[in-house]
Amino acid sequence: MRQFLQLAVVFLTLAPMAVPAQISSPQIDRPKKQPKENLEWLWKYAPPPADGRENDLVLDPRFRPFLAQYLTAPQIFWGNPKTGYKSLAETALDFLSVPDKVLADDNRYVTITGCVYRFCPSRGLLWVDLGSPHPLVIFSAIDWVKDNKTPDQPDAEYTMWLFTNHPIEPDHISSALMHSIARWTAEPASGTTVLQHITNAILVDPDGTPHQISPAAIGANSTTRLQTGQKAHP
């Protein structure tokens, strides 16, 4: 009996020490929280009453992280195989490095335009649809076809690239996006009076899959809705 009681005392003495060992377990991997898709800060750079604050927007510390988060598709038009291609976010920054305009439409869409430093025939457009919890962000670039005419010639040819953060159907392009592109391509590049002739258009999915589409299908070289009034977010 004494021996039994001694064993019981030993067990009770050791039992509390065993509890932490049972609680302790390898760290459980939990999914990381996705960053909030709040891009409302873009509205502060859009009009009214005058043109948007495009220079301030490019310098905003949130701008580069915004590009890196939403523009992730691979691209092979800006750079070359020998020196390498830039990321899409870096490419967009290059094409917007000389700010042009920030415009707002229908209390929902923001359009940001610019061009490449010291080579404004290469122009960029960033279009953001803020009307959904997961904003649609599209980067478009006008790229000179280098084996054709020089940029200062009226019949020089250009390719338009469109990269999206969400897949969109080539046959169902948003009329709001078409309006922004039509307005953009209806103006010449900075420093010239010659309108750029878009002869090719390529829509690129988030995974890098390209789709050849008609330039007219996205509003390029069109005057669609050019007279429509622009509205800014309240």
| Predicted pLDDT of residue 5 | 39
Asked, for residue 234, whether it belongs to a domain, the answer is: no
Asked, for residue 46, whether it belongs to a domain, the answer is: yes
Reduced to 3 states, what is the DSSP secondary structure of residue 54?
helix
Give me the mean pLDDT over the 180-208 stretch.
94
| Predicted pLDDT of residue 29 | 52
In this predicted structure, the answer to whether residue 222 has a pLDDT above a threshold of 80 is no
Asked, for residue 31, whether it belongs to a domain, the answer is: no
What distance in Å separates the CA atoms of residue 14 and residue 18, rounded to the nearest whole number? 7
Q: What residue numbers bound the domain in which 211 lies?
A: 41-218
> What distance separates the 2 farthest-apart alpha carbons in the chain?
108
**Encoded tokens for 109:** 């869409």
Tens of pLDDT, residues 47-57:
875 567 888 99
| Predicted pLDDT of residue 20 | 42
- Write down the pTM of the prediction: 0.79
Asked, for residue 35, whether it belongs to a domain, the answer is: no
- Supply the DSSP symbol for 230: P
**Bridge pairing between strands 197-204 and 157-164:** parallel
Reduced to 3 states, what is the DSSP secondary structure of residue 161?
strand
Give me the mean pLDDT over the 1-27 stretch.
43
| Predicted pLDDT of residue 111 | 96
Q: What percent of the chain has pLDDT over 90?
A: 62
Tens of pLDDT, residues 147-181:
878 988 888 999 999 999 999 999 889 999 999 99
Asked, for residue 9, whether it belongs to a domain, the answer is: no
Asked, for residue 93, whether it belongs to a domain, the answer is: yes
| Predicted pLDDT of residue 4 | 39
CB 130 within 8 A of CB 45: no
In this predicted structure, the answer to whether residue 1 has a pLDDT above a threshold of 50 is no
Work out the mean pLDDT of the chain and round it to a whole number.
Answer: 83
Kindly write down the DSSP assignment for every residue of 198-223, as one continuous string.
Answer: EEEEEEE-TTS-EEEE-GGGGTTT--
Number of domains comprising the chain? 1
Asked, for residue 152, whether it belongs to a domain, the answer is: yes
Out of 141-155, 176-190, 199-213, 215-229, least confident range: 215-229
- CB atoms inside a 10 Å sphere around CB 34: 7
CB 128 within 8 A of CB 135: yes
In this predicted structure, the answer to whether residue 230 has a pLDDT above a threshold of 50 is no
Give me the mean pLDDT over the 174-203 stretch.
94
Asked, for residue 75, whether it belongs to a domain, the answer is: yes
CA dihedral 220, 223, 226, 227 (to 10 degrees): -170
